[in-house]
Structure 1
Amino acid sequence: MIMMQAVIEVPMLDGEPAPPWPVEPSPPGSWLVLHAGCTDEQTGLFVAALANRIDVMPPGGRDEVVDALLAEELLIATGGLRVSDARVGTSVMPGCCSGLEDWRDWAQPLTGGSPWLGHDPGPEVEAIGDALRVWQDGGPNRHRGRWAGHYVDLPRRTLPQLLTGVQRDLVGFLDSLSGWATRCGLGQRGRALVRTVDQNFAITAPLDLSTD
């Protein structure tokens, strides 16, 4: 069974100041999967990861952090889409500097293109007939012009369904974010944060899965 999931990389959050709300104690460098079932601590971790990239004016409390996020021209999150083959237990993760904000680029193979999935080790998509082979390492482990290491194969025809599933998970995560914001007492700030995340990560906009 092939799975495609939206993920962000958990940053280092043990500095000062600490996030002004509870977050899941996930180790830096691990991956947070975004979906409708995220707990408040997982959702808080996502928002803390967004805020970790920006400067927040003192006192750096809850409202100040959210205001700083809302003031940003562009929100980004290290991550992207994880592709897994549950049958063989293999996963391909986003590469360094890949961003969740570019998740829609995964539609490019439908028209003969290939998404940029980050570098180090440089995941790449190779078209093999009617299949797409997603390599974890398309960079330094190439051998005589070919890729090496582990990969996940998926039929090209399944890509629209997989991406539709990713969008459904992200829309569900927006619901989790909305509920978290309400329980945090963010009021109008919370509603604005949900809209901003939706816009910056292109979540609810129509998904172009054309093959022309």
Structure 2
Amino acid sequence: MSSPWIEPVLEVDHWRFLPLSGDLSPAELETFLKTWAEYNDAEDPRGLLDQEMTLFPGGLRVIRASGASVNPGCCCGLEDWREWSNLLDRTHVWMGHDPGVVQEFVGDGIRFSQEGRELRIDLPLRDLPGLLARVHEDLRGLLTLVERERGAEVAALLDRDLHISDPFP
């Protein structure tokens, strides 16, 4: 049985999540860009260029090889993905509400569960740095894709608000 992993996701509509990486198809990239713009009250990403800060519905989800996952809840934002490194200090991270995500530190790991569901996913804390490095890699791939398809200005905005180019621990 393979270990669970973490992936960055954008909630594109109620409980439908789009995994983010540089491997998005053209249609998936358009869905990402449209969702990002509309969530921030703009018609398209260029309409975001004058905004001081943009937000991203979604966050990080914990997923098993079987596909079962604990998803970010309402009001969670992908822009806070770096806070997951706080789990190494046994500090909980915000993963939204309705339904919320329960985090319990158990031994040398953390258990994630979604309110109202019996599913529980245990993640060894020793695996977290590598998993977050993979999230960072996925986001760098997304940034490269956006720059190639939409230009440097839109990519710079994405980078500014997700802090993708910043060094990661």
Identity of aligned pairs, percent? 36
1:75 paired residue number? 54
- Displacement after TM superposition at 1:8 (Å): 0.4
What SS does structure 2 have at the residue aligned with 1:178? helix
Report whether the alignment pairs 1:105 with 2:83.
yes
Partner in structure 2 of residue 195 of structure 1? 156
* Unpaired stretches in structure 2, ≥5 consecutive residues: none
1:124 Cα shift?
2.3
In structure 2, the residue matched to 1:206 is: 167
Q: 1:55 to 1:126 in 2, by over 3 A?
A: closer
Q: Within the alignment, does 1:43 sit opposite 2:45 as a pair?
A: no
- The corresponding residue for 2:12 is 10
Cα distance between partner residues in 2 of 1:40 and 1:129: 43
| Structure 2 equivalent of residue 15 of structure 1 | none
Shift of 1:150: 1.1
- Contact map agreement 2:110 2:123 (CA 8 A) in 1: yes
Matches within 5 A, 1:107-126: 107-126=85-104
DSSP 3-state at the match of 1:154: strand
* TM-score of the pair, normalised by structure 2: 0.91
Paired residue secondary structure (1:149) = coil
Gap change, CA 1:8 and 1:66, over 3 Å in 2:
closer
Who is 1:16 aligned against? none
Please list the CA deviations of residues 88-112 of structure 1 after superposition, one character each: whole Å capped at 9, or x if unmatched: 5421000111001011111111012
Q: How does 1:40-189 map to 2 (within 5 A)?
A: 40-56=26-42, 65-86=44-65, 88-137=66-115, 141=116, 149-181=118-150
Are residues 126 and 180 of structure 1, via their aligned partners in 2, closer, same or farther at CA, if it must alter by over 3 Å? same
2:16 corresponds to? 30
Structure 1: segments with no counterpart, 5+ residues: 12-27, 142-147, 182-189
Amino acid at match of 2:30: G
Contact 1:35 1:173 in 2 (8 A): yes
The separation in 1 between residues aligned to 2:158 and 2:54, in whole angstroms, is 8
Q: Work out the CA distance in 1 between the residues paired with 2:56 and 2:157.
A: 13
Q: Distance in 1 between matches of 2:101 and 2:159?
A: 26
Kept in 2, the 8 Å contact 1:39–1:176? The answer is no
Q: RMSD value over aligned CA atoms? A: 1.6
Following the alignment from structure 2 to structure 1, what is the Cα–Cα distance between the partners of residues 41 and 94? 28
Which amino acid is 1:82 matched to?
R
The one-letter code matched in structure 1 to 2:21 is: H
Indicate if the aligned counterparts of 1:117 and 1:123 stay in contact, CA closer than 8 A: yes
Against the structure 1 CA distance between its residues 54 and 134, is the aligned structure 2 distance closer, same or farther, given a 3 Å change threshold?
closer
Return the structure number with greater helix share.
2
1:23 is matched with which residue? none
